[in-house]
Amino acid sequence: MSTGRILAITNQKGGVGKTTTAVNLAASLAQLGKRVLLIDLDPQGNATTASGIEKQALEKSVYHLLLGEDEVADVRVRSEQGGYDLLPSNRNLAGAEVELVQEIARETRLKQALEPELAHYDFALIDCPPALNLLTVNALTAAHALIIPMQCEYFAAEGLADLVNTVKKIKARLNPALTIDGVVRVMFDNRNTLAQNVSDQLKTHFGSKVFNTVVPRNVRVAEAPSYGLSALQYDRSSKGAQAYLQMAQELIDRQGNAHG
């Protein structure tokens, strides 16, 4: 692949595994030899922390990028542990939401910032906030495709209908080529009948877009971020780390089939 593919890890619900998927996919793709840029687009800065970067101490963040004050090269830091580059964030980013409203081309700020960088990466992963706000619209406008993490619960499936509607609107107005690259089942508990049912519904609805890889609920995955590590670095042999590695390989294989 010559230029990078921008993937927005998105789901309008909070606590469904977006950040966990973004960070672990970034580390796993890097481990598999891919050049990865992770973009933390959530003012909570959880992806920044999980990448081993102190979010309070940032001189520059995605905030400066979106407001056009700085370029990617000024904002980018290296996650040494993860083996990828990061555009970090902290609470300042919440201000960008408000300030951007006054600006011209406010929906395309991230796209414009990322485009000149794509030659340097195989994948750019955007960790989205849990809302449909201007930050998320920037992500969906910049992205080639979406990755949607899903907890297989009844209400999770309901939220997905909202997301599908949002994608339709973004396609109509801002990003006609946007597609869904995959739906990934996360925090999965296969002893739970409801989870099995929702999983079957997902496959009916999304077909081959559902990743074969299922990420199980795994305590090592939940523990890793507090050490500033991905599951892969924290406990490589854990079921969670192995699942994200497998998902990364599946993603690479799919891109190869689709574009090569």
Interacting residue ranges for ligand ADP, rule: CB under 6 A: 14-20, 46, 130, 186-187, 215, 217-218, 221-222, 240
User: What Cα–Cα distance (Å) separates residue 89 from each residue in 126, 237, 242?
Assistant: 12, 30, 27
**What residue 16 binds from ligand ADP, Mg ion, none (CB within 5 to 8 A, per partner kind)?**
ligand ADP
Distance separating alpha carbons of residues 19 and 14, to the nearest angstrom: 10
Residue with smaller CB distance to ligand ADP, 45 or 83: 45
Indicate whether 55 belongs to the interface with Mg ion (CB under 5 A): no
What CA–CA distances, in Å, run from 235 to 82, 106, 214, 229, 240?
Answer: 13, 41, 18, 9, 9
List of E strands, 68-208: 77-79, 84-87, 123-127, 145-151, 179-188
Confirm or reject binding of residue 18 to Mg ion (CB under 5 A). Answer: yes
By beta-carbon proximity to ligand ADP, the closer residue of 6 and 247 is 247
From Mg ion, ligand ADP, none, which one binds at residue 221 (CB under 5 to 8 Å depending on kind)? ligand ADP
Answer with the entry of ligand ADP, Mg ion, none that 245 interacts with (C-beta below 5 to 8 A by kind). Answer: none
Binding partner at 215 among Mg ion, ligand ADP, none, C-beta below 5 to 8 Å by kind: ligand ADP
Smallest distance from the beta carbon of 9 to Mg ion, in angstroms? 9
Q: How far is CA 151 from CA 34, 47, 194, 222, 227, in A?
A: 27, 19, 11, 15, 24
Structure tokens given for 260: 């090569």
Binding-site partner at residue 131 among ligand ADP, Mg ion, none, CB < 5 to 8 Å by type: none
β-sheet bridge partners, residue 188: 216
CB of 129 to ligand ADP, least distance (A): 9
Tokens of 44: 């909570």
Q: Toward ligand ADP, which CB reaches closer, 197 or 226?
A: 226
User: 48: helix, coil or strand?
Assistant: helix
Which residue number, 213 or 218, has a Cβ lying nearer to ligand ADP? 218
